[in-house]
Chains A and B, each alone.
Chain A
Amino acid sequence: MADDKKIAAYMCKGCGLGERLDVDELKVIAEREGRVDMVREHDFLCSEAGVQLIQNDIDSEDVTNVAICACSRRSKTEAFNFENVAVARGNLREGVIWARPDTDEARELTQEMAADYVRMACFESKFSNAPKSSGEQSRIDNVLVVGGGMTGMTAAIEIARAGYKATIVEKTGTLGGHLAEVWKDIPDRSPYADPVDTGVAAMIAAIESDARVTVHLNSTVTRTSGAPGRFAADISTESGSTTTENFGAIVQASGYKDYDAHQLPELGYGKTPDVVTQAELEKLAREADGGPIHRPSDGKEITSVAFVQCAGQRSDKKGHLPYCSGVCCMASIKQAMYFKDNNSDIDTTVIYTDLRTPGAPGEDFYRSGQKKGVVFTKGTVHEVVVGSGAHSVKFKDLILDEDAEMAVDLVVLATGQVPNSGPDMEQISEDKEAAKEAGEEYVEVPVESILNLDYRQGPDIPQLANGFTDSHFICFPYETRRTGIYTAGPVRRPMDSAQAKEDGTGAAMKAIHALEDAAQGRAAHPRSGDLSFPQFRKEGCTQCKRCTVECPFGAINEDEDRYPQFNEARCRRCGTCMGACPVRVISFENYSVETVGQQIKNVEMPDEFDEKPRILVLACENDAYPALDMAARNGNHYSEFSRVIPVRCLGSINTIWITDALNSGYDGIILMGCRKDDDYQCHFVRGSYLANARMSKIDDTLSQLNLEPERVATCEVAITDVERAPKLINDMVETVAKVGMNPFKF
Chain B
Amino acid sequence: MSDIVASNETIVVVGGGISGMTSALEAAECGKQVILIEKNPSLGGRVAQLYRYFPKMCHPTCGMEINLRRARYNRNLRILTMAEVTEVTGKSGDYSLRVLLKPRFVNENCTACGECEKVVEAEFGDEFNYGMSRRKGAYLPYNMAYPQRYVIDERIIGTEDAGKAKDACRYDAIDLDMQAEEIELKAGAIIWATGWQPYDASRIQPYGYDRYQNVITNVEFERMADPQGPTGGRLVRPSDGEEARKVAFIQCAGSRDRNHLRHCSRICCMSSLKQARYVREAFPEDGMVDIYYIDIRAIDRFEDFYKKIQEDEKVSFIKSKVASIIKDKEDNPVLQGVDTEGGNRYETSYDMVILATGMQPSINREAFPIDIVINQDGFIEPDEKNGAIFASGSAADALDVNRSVQHATAAALRAIQVVNKTAGAGV
Q: Is the CB of A77 within 8 A of B297?
A: no
A275 at interface (Cβ–Cβ under 8 A)? Answer: no
Q: Is the CB of B111 within 8 A of A323?
A: no
Q: Which of B90-98, B121-129, B340-348 binds A?
A: B340-348
Cβ of A544 to closest chain B Cβ, rounded Å = 32
B59 at interface (Cβ–Cβ under 8 A)? Answer: yes
Given the interface pairs A44-B171, A474-B401, A526-B66, the reply to whether A516 lies near B341 with Cβ below 8 Å is: no
B6 at interface (Cβ–Cβ under 8 A)? Answer: no
B163 at interface (Cβ–Cβ under 8 A)? Answer: no
Cβ of B34 to closest chain A Cβ, rounded Å = 13
A529 at interface (Cβ–Cβ under 8 A)? Answer: yes
Contacts of B296 in A (CB 8 A): 354
B413 at interface (Cβ–Cβ under 8 A)? Answer: yes
Q: Which of A158-166, A175-183, A565-573 binds B?
A: A158-166
Cβ of B97 to closest chain A Cβ, rounded Å = 23
A162 to B256, CA, bound (A): 38
Contacts of A626 in B (CB 8 A): 61, 65, 144
A26 to B344, CA, bound (A): 75
Most buried by A among B29, B69, B399, B413: B413
Q: Which of B70-78, B200-208, B363-371 binds A?
A: B70-78
B300 at interface (Cβ–Cβ under 8 A)? Answer: yes
A537 at interface (Cβ–Cβ under 8 A)? Answer: no
Q: Is the CB of B398 within 8 A of A681?
A: no
One of A358, A493, A502, A516 near B301 (C-beta < 8 A): A493
Q: Which of B131-139, B210-218, B282-290, B402-410 binds A?
A: B402-410
One of A77, A164, A361 near B72 (C-beta < 8 A): A77
Q: Is the CB of A512 within 8 A of B416?
A: yes
Contacts of B175 in A (CB 8 A): none
Cβ of A530 to closest chain B Cβ, rounded Å = 9
Chain A residues numbered 709-728 whose CB sits less than 8 Å from any CB in chain B: 718-720, 722-723
Q: Is the CB of A325 within 8 A of B375?
A: no
Contacts of B227 in A (CB 8 A): 720, 722-723
Q: Which of A195-203, A293-301, A465-473 binds B?
A: A465-473
Most buried by A among B66, B341, B420, B426: B66
One of B67, B113, B299, B342 near A324 (C-beta < 8 A): B299
B304 at interface (Cβ–Cβ under 8 A)? Answer: yes
Contacts of B63 in A (CB 8 A): 472, 474-476
A543 at interface (Cβ–Cβ under 8 A)? Answer: no
A363 to B265, CA, bound (A): 9
Chain B residues numbered 104-152 whose CB sits less than 8 Å from any CB in chain A: 109, 111-114, 143-144, 148
Q: Is the CB of A477 within 8 A of B31?
A: no
Q: Is the CB of A363 within 8 A of B111?
A: no
A139 to B379, CA, bound (A): 39
A318 at interface (Cβ–Cβ under 8 A)? Answer: no
Cβ of B66 to closest chain A Cβ, rounded Å = 5
A517 to B29, CA, bound (A): 8
A364 to B255, CA, bound (A): 12
A546 at interface (Cβ–Cβ under 8 A)? Answer: no
Q: Which of A213-221, A503-511, A555-563 binds B?
A: A503-511
Contacts of B416 in A (CB 8 A): 162, 509, 512
Q: Is the CB of B398 within 8 A of A358?
A: yes
B414 at interface (Cβ–Cβ under 8 A)? Answer: yes
Given the interface pairs A76-B111, A509-B412, A719-B59, the reply to whether A81 lies near B228 with Cβ below 8 Å is: no
Residue of B nearest to A162 (CB): B417
Residue of A nearest to B232 (CB): A723
A647 at interface (Cβ–Cβ under 8 A)? Answer: no
Contacts of B323 in A (CB 8 A): none
A61 to B425, CA, bound (A): 41
A316 to B310, CA, bound (A): 13
Q: Is the CB of A720 within 8 A of B420?
A: no
One of A363, A466, A502 near B263 (C-beta < 8 A): A363
Q: Is the CB of A14 within 8 A of B65?
A: no
Q: Is the CB of B58 within 8 A of A360?
A: no
One of B109, B413, B425 near A47 (C-beta < 8 A): B109
Residue of A nearest to B394 (CB): A359
Contacts of A364 in B (CB 8 A): 262-263, 376-377
Interface magnitude class on chain A: 35 or more
Cβ of B192 to closest chain A Cβ, rounded Å = 16
Q: Is the CB of A158 within 8 A of B417?
A: yes
A623 to B56, CA, bound (A): 16
Residue of A nearest to B109 (CB): A47
Residue of B nearest to A488 (CB): B406
- Give the size of the chain B interface in residues (CB under 8 angstroms): 89
A83 to B304, CA, bound (A): 47
A316 to B303, CA, bound (A): 11
Given the interface pairs A162-B420, A529-B29, the reply to whether A495 lies near B300 with Cβ below 8 Å is: yes
Residue of A nearest to B293 (CB): A354
B102 at interface (Cβ–Cβ under 8 A)? Answer: no
A15 at interface (Cβ–Cβ under 8 A)? Answer: yes
Cβ of A174 to closest chain B Cβ, rounded Å = 25
Q: Is the CB of A359 within 8 A of B171?
A: no
Q: Is the CB of B342 within 8 A of A401?
A: yes
Contacts of A16 in B (CB 8 A): 113
B381 at interface (Cβ–Cβ under 8 A)? Answer: yes
B264 at interface (Cβ–Cβ under 8 A)? Answer: yes
A339 at interface (Cβ–Cβ under 8 A)? Answer: no
Q: Is the CB of A15 within 8 A of B111?
A: yes
Contacts of A529 in B (CB 8 A): 29, 70, 73-74
Residue of B nearest to A47 (CB): B109
Contacts of B59 in A (CB 8 A): 681, 718-720
Chain A 590-627 interface 0/1 with B at a Cβ cutoff of 8 Å (1 = within): 00000000000000000000000000000000110010
Contacts of B409 in A (CB 8 A): 478, 505-506, 509-510
Cβ of B379 to closest chain A Cβ, rounded Å = 6
Given the interface pairs A163-B420, A325-B300, A512-B416, the reply to whether A360 lies near B375 with Cβ below 8 Å is: yes
A15 to B110, CA, bound (A): 10
A466 to B302, CA, bound (A): 12
B178 at interface (Cβ–Cβ under 8 A)? Answer: no
Chain B 148-181 interface 0/1 with A at a Cβ cutoff of 8 Å (1 = within): 1000000000000000000000110000000000
One of A78, A141, A494, A525 near B427 (C-beta < 8 A): A141
Q: Is the CB of A47 within 8 A of B171?
A: yes
B266 at interface (Cβ–Cβ under 8 A)? Answer: yes
Contacts of B304 in A (CB 8 A): 322-323, 465
Residue of A nearest to B416 (CB): A162
B382 at interface (Cβ–Cβ under 8 A)? Answer: yes
A681 to B62, CA, bound (A): 8
A508 to B114, CA, bound (A): 44
B397 at interface (Cβ–Cβ under 8 A)? Answer: yes
Residue of B nearest to A71 (CB): B111
Cβ of B128 to closest chain A Cβ, rounded Å = 14
Chain B 275-315 interface 0/1 with A at a Cβ cutoff of 8 Å (1 = within): 00000000000000000000111111111100100000000
B222 at interface (Cβ–Cβ under 8 A)? Answer: no
A322 to B409, CA, bound (A): 29
Q: Is the CB of A505 within 8 A of B381?
A: no
A681 to B59, CA, bound (A): 9
Contacts of A723 in B (CB 8 A): 227
A141 to B426, CA, bound (A): 10
Closest 8 CB pairs of A and B: A475-B63, A190-B375, A505-B410, A506-B409, A360-B263, A326-B300, A509-B413, A358-B266
* 6 chain-A/chain-B pairs, Cβ below 8 angstroms: A75-B112, A163-B426, A323-B301, A474-B401, A510-B409, A529-B29
Given A326-B300, A363-B264, 20 more A-B residue pairs with CB atoms under 8 Å apart are A16-B113, A74-B69, A161-B417, A163-B417, A164-B427, A190-B376, A362-B266, A363-B256, A363-B262, A474-B401, A474-B405, A475-B401, A494-B301, A499-B403, A509-B409, A529-B73, A622-B65, A626-B61, A630-B228, A723-B227
